[in-house]
Structure 1
Amino acid sequence: MATSENIVWHSTSVTKKDRQKASGERSAIIWFTGLSGSGKSTLANAVEVELFKRNVKTYLLDGDNIRSGLNKNLGFSEADRKENIRRIGEVAKLFVDSNTIVLTAFISPFIEDRETVRQLVEEGEFIEIYVKASLEACEGRDPKGLYKKARAGQIKDFTGIDSPYEAPEHPDLVVDTEKETIEESTAKIVAFLKEQGIIE
């Protein structure tokens, strides 16, 4: 998709640094990645609740919700998955610029695509959280019945079944939802955000 030669970036008078200075807070992308059924959405919601209690400015972008609107024209081919994450990355970048902590819960199966999003923001503004759970555990949970449909051939290109998932090689944080409760994982993430100076 080519960029028009007639588009010129328009710089705004109020910058991200201005917003951060005024609020005394930092912004960042908290990127939850993992297999379907690993607990990404549940965990992202739980973390947002904890941040909201601390009066931290947040917004949650969830995979299914985004595909119901902004990305409803995309399927699940490799090309469409890449475009899905590209768009999400650009939206998340706008939230960071607005001085908001944006939590994103997406399978985002490819390392290259997640690294592309990391490069959109400044160092330290992209926190990759690997929500770790085995395929067997995720398939056993199967909260939406998607694995069952994929095994029956009703869903093509399903991550973990007939489309690959590339686990992060160097995630900023790993939470193992087979070993940790939601409360334990949430506390672990909040503590990490404090350590990184993202929240107080």
Structure 2
Amino acid sequence: MRGKTDPRPVTIALDSLSWLLLHLPCTTLCQTLYALNYQDSSLGDSSPVQQVRVLGLLHEELHGPGPVGALSSLAQSEVTLSGTAGQASAHILYRRPQQHPTVKTQWFSIRPDFSLDLQGGPPLASQPHPDPHIFQVDPTTHLTFNLHLSKKEKEAKDNLTLPFQFSSEKQQALLCPSLGQATSYIFYEPDVYDDLDQEDPDDDLDI
């Protein structure tokens, strides 16, 4: 792994990280993967070190959010596969140092010879054809209320004054009371437990 004469990049493929998680603690696996990926940081510049890339397959449905999130935080590139062989998609998340992550979705299908057929976008969903033998039920047939009002009902609806609506006379009486009209007052008697401190309680905060 740390050959001095051949420092070419090396890729380690792990066909099942799920199997390793069943036999090793999650912390041990994460520390091992981190050491493989960042081993060159522990050596000096005079020692040529092989660049190691780790490619691992993880079945997310077999693990909880804790192990999945821990392994995801170590990955520079994360590819999430979904769909079937006839129509699948790859959600690609690429993390660059000191840059915003790049997200891309690639649609593809697998041919009978196991080669990939890359597609530019998601497939168009086929519109379902209605079955002529199925009787379509009118949703407005058995309603408990009338959707259509008669002319007399519309007039009664327009003339109805709702409780929250004020007439012009009532608005004028409320806004401009007459001189002879009695004026209302609000009397408040403080309780013994009321906080009557007029000072701002946030004055002592250093903001």
Higher RCO structure, 1 or 2 (CA under 8 Å, sep 6+)? 1
Greater strand proportion: 2
Greater helix proportion: 1
- TM-score, normalised via structure 2 length: 0.29
User: Highest Rg: 1 or 2?
Assistant: 2
